[in-house]
Chains A and B, each alone.
Chain A
Amino acid sequence: MKLPNPSFVVLAASFVALAARGEPLPKHELPRSKNGNLVVGMCDGKTSVEVAGVRADQALSPEQGKTVANQLMREWLDRNPSVGTDWKKEELLAQAKAPPAADSRATSQESASSGAKGITTPRPDVQAAQTYGAFASRDEAIWKASTDAFVNEGNRIFHDAKALGGTVAISCDMCHPNAANTHPETYPKYQVQLGRVALLRDMINWCIENPVRGKPLDDGDPKLKAMEAYITAQRKGVPLEHGKH
């Protein structure tokens, strides 16, 4: 099995170290075009290409973009002949097996003798560069707003006999203010009165059918989901204790 190029690892380690110290990351300074043409830089931080006939403030068409990308790749491969035609395979291997940072020094020494040179693309640590986890407070605010909206929809249905499909003007909150005494944390449990194991949704549907005198909701019904969300949200912090009576 071909090992990932060790120089990757060295670069990745230094990249992470820079970021950890809070220092500015290396920036790719693009050469200016004398004619005011658009200059496109490559992610290796070195390679760039000037696009004739396109001004710096103009957008590229998809065709032009493809041409530029191919040109950049050709230049990069010319400068990194050792990668050969197998570079795609190597990248796949590197992604599949991210070497632990502790090994980086030993492998970098090997790299000197292995003759693998010239790959200078900074490749951040797989863990740090993972999309999931690299979120800003704005993302979190969006998630919270979405969750709250879902819970609020459940709140609305919980308090609305018509939305529940009830026929006798009874809504859930009449017996369960703030979803009190719905104890979602105790499900699944053997529901003695039903003679079988029930989930919270079974009890929601039991209430809809009986005191509320409506039709039970399908498992996938957005109303049922929203009510589950509302009821569960009311018990935040209560330990899960399924089967509790």
Chain B
Amino acid sequence: MANKFRSVETRYHEQRDSLFDGLSRLSRRGFMKMAGISAGIAASKGLITPHGFQLVDVAFAEPARPKFTFAYISDTHLYERKLNDRFVRAILKAVDDVNGLDPQPDFVLFGGDLAQLGKPAELKLGAEILKSVKAPVRMMVGEHDWFLDMGERWKELFGAPSYSFDHKGVHFVTLMSVQEKDFWTARGMTPEERMQTVAGLDNATQSRFEVGPEGRQWLKNDLAKIDKKTPLIVFSHSPLYKYYRDWNFWTEDADEVQAILAPFDRVTVIHGHTHQLLTHRIGNIHFHGMLSTAWPWPYAPEGLPKLTVQMNRADPFDQFDGCGDGRVDVTADGLANKLYNLWDRHPVTVKGSYLASNGSADRPPAAKLPTY
């Protein structure tokens, strides 16, 4: 979105995407009007030849019209600027992206792991940068923000890690899902050692993520007053399902949490932590991962959800490849279309209809370069 240099192909696809985006936002009347102006005869049949793209019949595309949109930035893993400016550049790029969205999203979700090692200076830097986001920011906590001081500083800056709100008929819940059972006391670890251990994926020292009994009780209480027909969108840093235990792509009490969400007709979980395009469905619950601005992670050697269409593996020579930010379009029927704005690549949209049809409709394009 905010790249200075864009190839012909990129510009072509951006035009194309914005056109389709615009089309899907139009009412039928609005569409007919626009179609009439641009291509009279074609429009009389509900067909249009925009910019020389292939004919698109949008007359039947109306159910996908978004009711509202929010954007996300996630997993920025900031060090202090004087130590490492690489990740600072990346979050600034993401902020430019979301500020460049037109129309502006209703709000911007920050998906957790603002800091790399939970240090006050790192959190402060992140908070300052996020102040320049034009839309309201909804904060979520990640394990990298938490385990130095067990969330003290983060809570001072951003408030309670679990909260809920209602927006345009959808009930939103932000859930603190990166609790870990105490592995540090018995080992006599300092807070820094504890943080460093949690910051690594491939160690067996730390415990697995969990919402925990208190968190689950809080969630139950929060949802008790919500009608089961109300669309539910849950923000969680950990995936809220069991993907790959060894890397903590995992929530230990995922089954219990899912049981609390299961009675609702439409549930979408948007999670961070995994730094990759990730799609899953369990019952009525749709799961979407978020991209990191800092670095992409390889797909785990096992446990990849069947519905996930992998993104191309990242080019290590391009800092931004495989990274990015994104947007979620919530449709009138409460489904979420999840846009992965992969920097330096075509964006990928995983539609709610793809998940609702269990993968038979609207399948995202397959990766050309899958994981080794």
Binding site for B on A (CB under 8 A): 159, 168-170, 173-178, 180-181, 183, 186, 193, 206-207, 210-211, 244
A207 and B316 contact, CB distance less than 8 A: yes
B372 and A168 contact, CB distance less than 8 A: no
Q: How many residues of B contact A (CB 8 A)?
A: 23
Question: What is the bound-complex CA distance between A174 and B201, given in angstroms?
Answer: 8
Q: Which of B246, B298, B317 contacts A176 (CB 8 A)?
A: B298
Q: Which of A169, A177, A244 contacts B247 (CB 8 A)?
A: A177
A177 and B372 contact, CB distance less than 8 A: no
A183 and B297 contact, CB distance less than 8 A: no
Question: What is the bound-complex CA distance between A186 and B369, given in angstroms?
Answer: 14
Question: What is the bound-complex CA distance between A207 and B246, given in angstroms?
Answer: 24
A169 and B83 contact, CB distance less than 8 A: yes
A181 and B298 contact, CB distance less than 8 A: yes
A168 and B83 contact, CB distance less than 8 A: yes
Q: Which of A177, A181, A193 contacts B317 (CB 8 A)?
A: A193
Question: Does B245 make an interface contact (CB < 8 A)?
Answer: no
* Residues of chain A contacted by B295 (CB below 8 angstroms): 174-175
A168 and B201 contact, CB distance less than 8 A: no
- Please list 30 pairs of residues, one from A and one from B, whose beta carbons are closer than 8 Å in the complex, sorted by A's number: A168-B79, A168-B83, A169-B79, A169-B83, A169-B116, A170-B86, A173-B201, A174-B295, A175-B295, A175-B297, A175-B298, A175-B316, A176-B298, A177-B247, A177-B297, A177-B298, A178-B246, A178-B301, A180-B298, A180-B300, A180-B371, A181-B298, A181-B313, A181-B371, A193-B317, A206-B316, A207-B316, A210-B317, A211-B86, A211-B316
Question: Does B200 make an interface contact (CB < 8 A)?
Answer: yes
Which 10 residue pairs of A and B lie closest in terms of their CB atoms, listed nearest first? A181-B298, A177-B202, A177-B201, A168-B84, A183-B372, A193-B317, A180-B298, A178-B202, A175-B295, A177-B247
Question: Does B214 make an interface contact (CB < 8 A)?
Answer: no
B316 and A159 contact, CB distance less than 8 A: no
* Residues of chain A contacted by B166 (CB below 8 angstroms): none
* Residues of chain A contacted by B86 (CB below 8 angstroms): 168, 170, 211
- Residue of chain A at shortest CB distance from B86: A168
Which of B202, B315, B317 is packed against the most chain A CB atoms within 10 Å? B202
B372 and A181 contact, CB distance less than 8 A: yes
- Residue of chain B at shortest CB distance from A183: B372
Question: What is the bound-complex CA distance between A94 and B296, given in angstroms?
Answer: 64
- Residue of chain A at shortest CB distance from B203: A159
A173 and B202 contact, CB distance less than 8 A: yes
* Residues of chain B contacted by A176 (CB below 8 angstroms): 298
CB distance from B151 to the nearest CB of A (A): 22
- Residue of chain A at shortest CB distance from B318: A193
- Residue of chain A at shortest CB distance from B247: A177
* Residues of chain A contacted by B200 (CB below 8 angstroms): 159, 173, 177
- Residue of chain B at shortest CB distance from A244: B372
Excluding A177-B297, A207-B316, 10 further A-B contacts by CB distance (< 8 Å) are A168-B79, A169-B83, A175-B296, A175-B316, A180-B300, A180-B371, A181-B298, A183-B372, A186-B372, A210-B317
Which of B246, B297, B313, B319 is packed against the most chain A CB atoms within 10 Å? B297
CB distance from A233 to the nearest CB of B (A): 13
Question: What is the bound-complex CA distance between A174 and B196, given in angstroms?
Answer: 12
- Residue of chain B at shortest CB distance from A185: B372
- Residue of chain B at shortest CB distance from A186: B372
* Residues of chain B contacted by A210 (CB below 8 angstroms): 317
- Residue of chain B at shortest CB distance from A168: B84
Question: What is the bound-complex CA distance between A175 and B316, given in angstroms?
Answer: 10
* Residues of chain A contacted by B201 (CB below 8 angstroms): 173, 177
* Residues of chain A contacted by B247 (CB below 8 angstroms): 177-178
Question: What is the bound-complex CA distance between A161 and B246, given in angstroms?
Answer: 22
B202 and A170 contact, CB distance less than 8 A: no
CB distance from B300 to the nearest CB of A (A): 8
Question: What is the bound-complex CA distance between A169 and B87, given in angstroms?
Answer: 11
* Residues of chain B contacted by A186 (CB below 8 angstroms): 372
**Chain B contacts with A in 295-318, Cβ cutoff 8 A:** 295-298, 300-301, 313, 315-317
CB distance from B371 to the nearest CB of A (A): 7
Question: What is the bound-complex CA distance between A232 and B86, given in angstroms?
Answer: 29
Question: What is the bound-complex CA distance between A74 and B46, given in angstroms?
Answer: 113
Contact with A along B243-275 (1 / 0, CB 8 A): 000110000000000000000000000000000
* Residues of chain B contacted by A181 (CB below 8 angstroms): 298, 313, 371-372
- Residue of chain B at shortest CB distance from A170: B84
* Residues of chain B contacted by A169 (CB below 8 angstroms): 79, 83-84, 116
* Residues of chain A contacted by B202 (CB below 8 angstroms): 173, 177-178
Contact with A along B77-121 (1 / 0, CB 8 A): 001000110100000000000000000000000000000100000
Question: What is the bound-complex CA distance between A170 and B79, given in angstroms?
Answer: 10
Question: What is the bound-complex CA distance between A218 and B83, given in angstroms?
Answer: 26
**Chain B contacts with A in 160-218, Cβ cutoff 8 A:** 200-202
* Residues of chain A contacted by B316 (CB below 8 angstroms): 175, 193, 206-207, 211
CB distance from A201 to the nearest CB of B (A): 15
- Residue of chain B at shortest CB distance from A193: B317
Question: What is the bound-complex CA distance between A168 and B313, given in angstroms?
Answer: 24
* Residues of chain B contacted by A174 (CB below 8 angstroms): 295
CB distance from B173 to the nearest CB of A (A): 29
Question: What is the bound-complex CA distance between A174 and B83, given in angstroms?
Answer: 16
CB distance from A167 to the nearest CB of B (A): 9
